[in-house]
Structure 1
Amino acid sequence: MTAFTRALRGKSTRRIAAASIVATGALLLTACGGDGDDMSGMSHGSGSSSAAATTGAGDKAGDFNDADVTFAQMMIPHHEQAVEMAKLAGGHASDAQIKDLAGKIEQAQDPEIKTMKSWLTSWGKPTVGMGGMGSMPGMDHGSMNGMMSDTDMKELQAMKGTEFDKMFAEMMIDHHNGAIAMAKDEQKNGENADAKKMAGDIVKGQSAEVKQLQGILGQL
């Protein structure tokens, strides 16, 4: 074999080896790229599932806690007494503003009573519990969250005309302030979205009615 022939064979061998290295490298890069895409896809998929699970958690309309239950159980008898007082205005009040406001109180609070009872039923809780003011029959609840005592209610029933108007306004102011305090507690500590919304409506609506009653008292 001549020196020239040996040189040609050497170059061919090196070219084949180089080509093999390049091909092997390309295969490795392709494999790595595929693995990277798969891992990336898996990672994104897991993240999305976790985010969805986290978003869904605690965002159920039926979620509630002890504060929600206490709010409903206490506000039901509180509203019921306000409605009872409001109904007296028709035959006892003489002031047109008192009669008008009493009608609005009845229209607003009666449906809320039904709504709160439906919440408690759906939560599997009694409409009156340990926190409810009606849990102890015969107990005088005067001054508890603005609730009137049995004596107070009997006195109001005995009043007519301007005397009734004044007593009604004074009692309802105290009653509303009690409800507002309870509602603010629910806003702070409650969990159920519907209950907290109602609490906000009570704070807003009854605060406005307190101002109106104070104005009426100043005119009587």
Structure 2
Amino acid sequence: MRAFTNRTTRKIALAAALAGAGLLLTACGTDGGMSGMDHGGMSASSSATASAPAATGAGSGSGSGSASGAFNDADVMFAQMMIPHHQQALEMAKLADGRAEDPEVKKLVAAIEQAQDPEIRKMKAWLKGWGKPESAGHSMGGMMSDQDMKDLAAAKGKAFDRKFAELMIAHHDGAVAMAKDEQKSGGDATAKKLADDVVRTQSAEIARLKKILDRL
């Protein structure tokens, strides 16, 4: 009887030990599995972060220099030609200081300086944004010769007013012709808008200059 009791006691103890060991293994296995999942998740996140490309802002500043985006050779030529053309008009306008006499001529000089200097800066910015040089040696209509500029500088009073009006009409005619080419062939919307402004304002100034000549 005592032997049976001892055997039974040993079986119960063994079963309890095995059950306890099973629970311990299950707990360890579960903890190990979750631990692996945690590390795996962190590694995947870290890897994704490391491999993700940094934002470069490639789209920002894409309009810098360029007026509205697409441009073509006609836009480039328009800017390259109009910059020196405007610059010469400003040189002619500067000569009016101390030489011009007619009030209407003086008003036109002020209008030319106010309009064309900002336009030069715009066109230079476009060319820079387009990756094109400012000068390309184009032939331009209406440009004054060195002798024309010397003759204008030598005149004073009414003689200056008359000479200035004659030369500026020819100069504006050349600018209007270039602007009309841009209107027809240009691709950039803002460059074409500037061409519209040149045609409108300088055509009006040509009409005013002709009236000045008629009364001088």
When normalised by structure 1's length, the TM-score is: 0.67
2:100 pairs, out of 93, 118, 121, with: 93
Correspondence 1:115 to 2:111: no
2:70 pairs, out of 63, 71, 78, with: 63
Measure, in 2, the Cα distance between the counterparts of 1:64 and 1:130.
20
Correspondence 1:185 to 2:181: yes
Measure, in 1, the Cα distance between the counterparts of 2:182 and 2:120.
16
Corresponding position of 1:147: 143
Measure, in 2, the Cα distance between the counterparts of 1:130 and 1:77.
10
Corresponding position of 2:24: none
Letter of the 2:106 partner, please give it: K
Corresponding position of 1:218: 214
CA distances 1:123-163 after superposition (whole Å, capped 9, x unpaired): 000111143x5xxxxxxxxxx41000001001100100000
Structure 1 unpaired stretches of 5+: 1-59, 134-143
Measure, in 2, the Cα distance between the counterparts of 1:108 and 1:73.
18
Pairwise CA distance, 1:92 = 0.6
Letter of the 1:164 partner, please give it: F
Pairwise CA distance, 1:62 = 1.8
Corresponding position of 2:110: 103
Measure, in 2, the Cα distance between the counterparts of 1:75 and 1:116.
8
Correspondence 1:205 to 2:204: no
RMSD after superposition: 1.1
CA distances 1:161-191 after superposition (whole Å, capped 9, x unpaired): 0000000000000000000000000000000
Measure, in 2, the Cα distance between the counterparts of 1:186 and 1:175.
17
Letter of the 1:209 partner, please give it: E
* Secondary structure of the corresponding residue to residue 91 of structure 1: coil
Pairwise CA distance, 1:61 = 1.7
Corresponding position of 2:80: 73
CA distances 1:62-82 after superposition (whole Å, capped 9, x unpaired): 210000000000000000000
Measure, in 2, the Cα distance between the counterparts of 1:158 and 1:106.
21
Pairwise CA distance, 1:89 = 1.0
Identity of aligned residues (%): 63
Equivalent pairs, count: 150
Which structure has the larger Rg over C-alpha atoms? 2
Alignment of 1:32-47 (within 5 A): none
CA distances 1:107-138 after superposition (whole Å, capped 9, x unpaired): 1000000000000000000111143x5xxxxx
Measure, in 2, the Cα distance between the counterparts of 1:101 and 1:166.
13
Measure, in 2, the Cα distance between the counterparts of 1:110 and 1:165.
22
Measure, in 1, the Cα distance between the counterparts of 2:136 and 2:199.
23
When normalised by structure 2's length, the TM-score is: 0.68
